[in-house]
Amino acid sequence: MKTASDFGFVKIAVCCPKTAVANPEKNAGFVLDSIATASEKGAQVILLPELALSSYTAADLFHQQRLIRRCEDALTQILEKTSENPAVIALGMPVWAGDALYNCAVLVQNGKILGAVPKEYLPNYQEFYEKRWFASGSSALVEEVTFCGQTVPFGELLFQFGELVVGVEICEDLWVPLPPSSRLAVCGANLILNLSASNELVAKDSYRRELIAGQSGRCICAYAYASAGLGESTTDLVFGGACTIAENGSILAESERFCPEGSITTACIDISRLMAERRKNGSFHDCAAVYGGCVRTVRGKLPVLSLEQMDRPFDPTPFIPSDNKTRADRCREIFAIQSAGLARRLSHTGLKRAVIGISGGLDSTLALLVSHEAMKRLGLPNENILCVTMPGFGTTDRTYQNALELIRSLGAELREVDIKPSCLQHMKDIGHDPAIHDITYENTQARERTQILMDLANKEGGLLVGTGDLSELAMGWCTYNGDHMSMYGVNASVPKTLVRHLVNFVAEESDPRTAAVLREVLDTPVSPELLPPDENGQIQQKTEEKIGPYELHDFFLYHFLRFGFERDKLALLAARAFGEKYSEEEIDKWLSLFLKRFFISQFKRSCLPDGPKVGSVSLSPRGDWRMPSDADMGAFLAE
């Protein structure tokens, strides 16, 4: 049975315990309480604030030997109480090294000290006077220090536990132009621990969150931040106990501030996801070649995280923000990228017309809306959009009427070409029986439509705008040299689940007539309409009944392309993301189909028309996805 650790997950707990100023014995008890709570939650790495054993605001009491000795006694107590605890625990305390006192992060595990990392940048401005008490870690002359009866590494260190590599910085280190965490990251650290005592000021919290998220993004790492809380002295400052965990630019978890009893927050970080991002980022390695170097490494082993203890949430729609405002902003930006790309292509070619095949379905609807916006950008009339309806053997009255109404509401030119006679003639020419509704029957219609559109574009001096989306390209759900081909594919990097939201976004900003028909399109089942309707004239050929739910395939596509996840991890994430909506058997069935179709369909993606990239996942053969068309799928299908 695989564990969460096997899939690259590590559980982090960030704690802000209660604090007694300058009372290490009491603080040891508070720290142990936090460690116990974090351990109950399955945390493998536990982070506590800066100078947690002494309190940060002890001020000139740091000159008192008794305080420093009592901190050492407190750590000894913690080591004894955690001798059977395999979690990696990082806590702050003052440490003598040579003839100087340092503000240190001390990492312990199973009752042993792994190492001590001194703070490098000491604030000495406004209300902070750390240079009055501590020396900078950059000036340290020793590489080992002895306390609590143990001689341990001292200085800039990395702590490696299999794939997890931990780097440490302390408070002000993050706020400087060149944070130590940047150097540690290019030297291999994929988790940065920050032990902090950051006071609260108006608007400081939002800036601090941006700083943490931004650093995790720049360093392509996870970043855990623990700040001192309300128990600190309030002589001049108030500390809120901000605890935050970020991963590659996104906040995963954060605690409530100003809690008198302290606080704790946990999150599962995905190390394999971070390493996948780093492997693809050439600039990260270029930076490492310049600024990286040899950093002393302490090695150990993490406790195992079970699947039951792994509580990381997974978004079932990774292409679509769940927040309404963010989603609207995202749709607005994508729509602008699509329309600007098409406008630029029309301008470059000198063409004044756009030609589109309109079926009444989602994809062609979005392509028409994009073309409509492009004409606005170019200052050209809507009549310059030539919309062609091409009823075939599977066209239903519902989609046909939707297409006509949409074209009229937008003021585009409408033409109709009935493809049934030409398709029947073609099938006669090649000796195919029209009563046999096979792939030849279907593709005859798709290719006939593309031929009509291409030739009309030539005749009218226009540009044929493609309608196919990213999901169809991934699954190969398009006819080679049929709807697969165009002169510019505006939807080429928009997944099917996002197409729906883009159409809805335009509907919400449109006039009542256009909005009404767009909502009717949104309510229509997805279908290529290449097979005859049922006896009631309704759509018989429903895409998702044939190839599976697009929401599942878009989920697989995102994680497979973006992070290179294996089949087992894709199945695990989907099961967690969709809950009881799909059984394990259903997920396995559709995942197998996704992988098979993805591999056998590469030849269609190897010759795609140009189209604008709108997000982080794209299948353009010119940059985003280069794959041999005859790659063997066996190793990828194996569990």
**pLDDT tens digits, residue range 470-495?**
999 999 999 999 999 999 999 999 99
Residue-level pLDDT at 20: 97
Residue-level pLDDT at 247: 98
Packing angle, helices 512-522 and 397-410, rounded to 10: 150
Residue-level pLDDT at 533: 79
Is the per-residue pLDDT at 171 higher than 90?
yes
Domains and CATH numbers, the chain: 11-299 (3.60.110.10), 324-554 (3.40.50.620)
Residue-level pLDDT at 212: 98
Residue 119 annotated to the active site: yes
User: What average pLDDT does the segment 426-437 reach?
Assistant: 97
> pLDDT category, 184, cuts 50, 70, 90?
very high
CB-CB neighbours of 294 under 10 Å: 6
pTM of the complete model:
0.93
Residues paired with 514 in a beta bridge:
none
* Burial of 203: CB neighbours in 10 Å, binned 0-12, 13-18, 19+: exposed
Is the per-residue pLDDT at 262 higher than 80?
yes
Residues paired with 13 in a beta bridge:
46, 266
Residue 148 annotated to the active site: no
Of the ranges 51-60, 68-77, 212-221, 534-543, which one carries the lowest mean pLDDT score?
A: 534-543
Is the per-residue pLDDT at 88 higher than 90?
yes
Of the ranges 209-218, 542-551, 570-579, which one carries the lowest mean pLDDT score?
A: 542-551
Instruction: Report pLDDT digits (tens) over 301-324.
Output: 999 999 999 999 999 999 999 999
Residue-level pLDDT at 257: 96
Residue-level pLDDT at 544: 86
User: What average pLDDT does the segment 176-187 reach?
Assistant: 97
C-beta of residue 11 within 8 angstroms of C-beta of residue 43: yes
C-beta of residue 484 within 8 angstroms of C-beta of residue 467: no
User: What average pLDDT does the segment 263-284 reach?
Assistant: 96
Max Cα separation, the chain? Answer: 100
Residue-level pLDDT at 457: 98
Q: Which residues, in sequence order, are CB contacts of 523 under 8 Å at separation 6+?
A: none
> pLDDT category, 200, cuts 50, 70, 90?
very high
CB-CB neighbours of 124 under 10 Å: 11
- In the DSSP assignment, the letter for residue 56 is G
> pLDDT category, 526, cuts 50, 70, 90?
confident
From 15, 171, 268, 423, the catalytic residue: 171
CB-CB neighbours of 391 under 10 Å: 18
Q: How far apart are CA 396 and CA 413, in angstroms?
A: 22
Q: How far apart are CA 73 and CA 494, in angstroms?
A: 60
Q: Which of 234-240's residues contact partners 24+ apart within 8 Å by CB, and which partners?
A: 235/57, 236/127, 237/57, 237/127, 237/199, 237/200, 238/199, 238/200, 239/56, 239/57, 239/197, 239/198, 239/199, 239/200, 240/199, 240/200, 240/205
Is the per-residue pLDDT at 639 higher than 80?
no
Q: Which residues, in sequence order, are CB contacts of 245 under 8 Å at separation 6+?
A: 12, 14, 222, 223, 224, 225, 251, 252, 253, 254, 265, 266, 267, 269
Element (H, E) at 299: strand 297-299
Instruction: Report pLDDT digits (tens) over 435-484.
Output: 999 999 999 999 999 999 999 999 999 999 999 999 999 999 999 999 99
Is the per-residue pLDDT at 540 higher than 90?
no
> pLDDT category, 134, cuts 50, 70, 90?
very high
Instruction: Name the token pair of 534.
Output: 């049922």
Backbone angles phi, psi at 8, to 5 degrees: 95, 10
CB-CB neighbours of 375 under 10 Å: 25
Instruction: Report pLDDT digits (tens) over 581-613.
Output: 999 999 999 999 999 999 999 999 999 999 999
Q: Going along 358-482, which residue ranges are E strands?
A: 385-389, 413-416, 462-466
CB-CB neighbours of 141 under 10 Å: 10
Is the per-residue pLDDT at 572 higher than 90?
yes
- In the DSSP assignment, the letter for residue 617 is -
| Residue-averaged pLDDT of the chain | 96
> pLDDT category, 541, cuts 50, 70, 90?
confident
Q: Which residues, in sequence order, are CB contacts of 306 under 8 Å at separation 6+?
A: 3, 4, 42
User: What average pLDDT does the segment 27-51 reach?
Assistant: 98
From 50, 169, 232, 472, the catalytic residue: 50
Share of the chain above pLDDT 70, in %: 100
Instruction: Report pLDDT digits (tens) over 322-336.
Output: 999 999 999 999 999
From 18, 72, 104, 119, the catalytic residue: 119
Residue 287 annotated to the active site: no
Is the per-residue pLDDT at 130 higher than 90?
yes
